[in-house]
Amino acid sequence: MASDTPTTDTPAAPTEPPPSLWKHRDFLKLWLGYTTSQFGGQITVVALPLVAIVVLQATEAEVGVLGAVGRLPFVLFLFAGFWADRFRKRPTMIGADIGRSLLLGLVVVMYMTDTLNLFWLGAISFLSVVLFVFFETSNMSHLPFLIGRDHLGEGNAKLQLSNSVARIAGNSLGSVLVNAFVAVFVLIVDVVALLVSAVACALIRKPEPVPDPAEERPGVFASIGAGLRWVWMEPLVRPGVIAAGFYMFFYTGIEVLLPLWVIEGLGLEPYWVGVLLAVGGPGAIIGSLLAVKTMKRIGIGPAFFWPTVVGNLSLFLIGLATGPSWLLIVMIGLAQFVLGVTGPIAMVASGTLRMGATPDHMQGRVIASQRAVALTLAPVGALVTGLLAAGLGMRAALLICAAGAIIPIIVLALSPIPKTMGMPEPQEH
């Protein structure tokens, strides 16, 4: 049977990995590209909806449709995983960055030529997210190849730190820029950031193996099926994928209801919504900085399990919030901060565990399987929670979602993950 692993005629001679990723030049280039891409992307998250609302005078229904269109490409994660495992990853990342920058630049050009409308904005948003899906899958599956197994924890932690900082700085700067300029022109920041990311990725020197075109390999659906079967059979990966699916189902429901709960359910002023959400930002930075130390101190598996326990249980504080205004703010703010700290630690440990157990030729399909499950269940969770809130009330719906978030804890507790201390070896099934 033909192997699904890419081959090369003259493999590069192994080199001694640097003792720290701070001295790993190729990783620093990848990290620079990822950071600028995330930063610019968060600015676009703020600016793009405002282009529809302020510039194109979109109605609530039209904004909802635009938001749905922008999330449809998430169903392509499985195909992106197949692509990442079949073709070289770095050219995909570079092409996706350049393509997204051109698409966002097209929005600016169409605005300046008075040809921009909601149809074109929706089409460009859709295509841009398609490219993001392929970039994200290739980027995460390229990391183990680039830095090696010994540095996976440190590499994941640094990327998570960039993600956390980008969410705070990008959203804040995006809001300031939108207030100072027309929202369309703010997209230029993301155009430049994506081009910087493309150049940084292009400067990476470590050569990827070139797939052998004469090699007989499974087709698209057979390859995707092989990836899903591997995930289901691997005891250190399957529980994490199942737990992520349940978590996103219930957490998304809480996330959707939270603004309405704060304003109408608890009677707080609308500005508290932004303040309470912002509390999670510093927590996320702290969690990202503590991730590697936590894995070294208690083990990779426990660093995934115990932060999940603490973070998921903190969701009860939101639905149980009652009393004077200061107590409401403290309870919800505490939940957001705890989620901010524990989330990055659990995600870094989960990613490190998954990458360590996954063979190189399966990395793309495995990460794509997890993303596909989690992101597919998220909108379903939002819909179900909305129906529960309409029928039972917001507090009951929030508490049901918090109780549902215990399911991921049970799934992980019944798996080998809490007892897995070190980096697992790649498994073939």
Domains of the chain (ranges, CATH numbers): 21-211 (1.20.1250.20), 224-419 (1.20.1250.20)
What confidence score (pLDDT) does residue 407 get?
97
277 or 356, higher pLDDT: 356
CA-to-CA distance for 171 and 228, rounded, in angstroms? 35
What confidence score (pLDDT) does residue 1 get?
38
pLDDT score of 284 more than 50:
yes
CA-to-CA distance for 106 and 58, rounded, in angstroms? 19
222 or 179, higher pLDDT: 222
Averaged pLDDT, 48-55: 80
What confidence score (pLDDT) does residue 11 get?
43
Q: Taking the CB of residue 182, how many other CB atoms lie within 10 A of it? A: 16
Burial (Cβ within 10 Å: 0-12, 13-18, ≥19) of residue 199: middle
Q: pLDDT grade, residue 60 (50/70/90)?
A: low
pLDDT score of 198 more than 60:
yes
Q: pLDDT grade, residue 26 (50/70/90)?
A: very high
Query: Token pair for residue 341?
Result: 């700290």
CA-to-CA distance for 354 and 339, rounded, in angstroms? 21
Averaged pLDDT, 70-81: 84
Q: pLDDT grade, residue 213 (50/70/90)?
A: low
CA-to-CA distance for 152 and 131, rounded, in angstroms? 25
Cα–Cα distances in angstroms (integers) from residue 182 to residues 43, 56, 173, 369, in the given order: 13, 12, 14, 39
Do the Cβ atoms of 246 and 408 come closer than 8 Å? yes
What confidence score (pLDDT) does residue 6 get?
42
What confidence score (pLDDT) does residue 211 get?
62
What confidence score (pLDDT) does residue 246 get?
95
Q: Which of 10-24, 91-105, 190-204 has the lowest mean pLDDT?
A: 10-24
Provide the residue type at 148 as one letter. G
pTM score? 0.79
Top mean pLDDT of 93-102, 121-130, 167-176, 227-236 is at 93-102
What is the average pLDDT score of the chain?
86
pLDDT score of 14 more than 50:
no
Averaged pLDDT, 71-85: 86
What confidence score (pLDDT) does residue 7 get?
41
What confidence score (pLDDT) does residue 275 get?
78
Residue (of 246, 344, 220, 210) closest to 287 by Cα position = 344
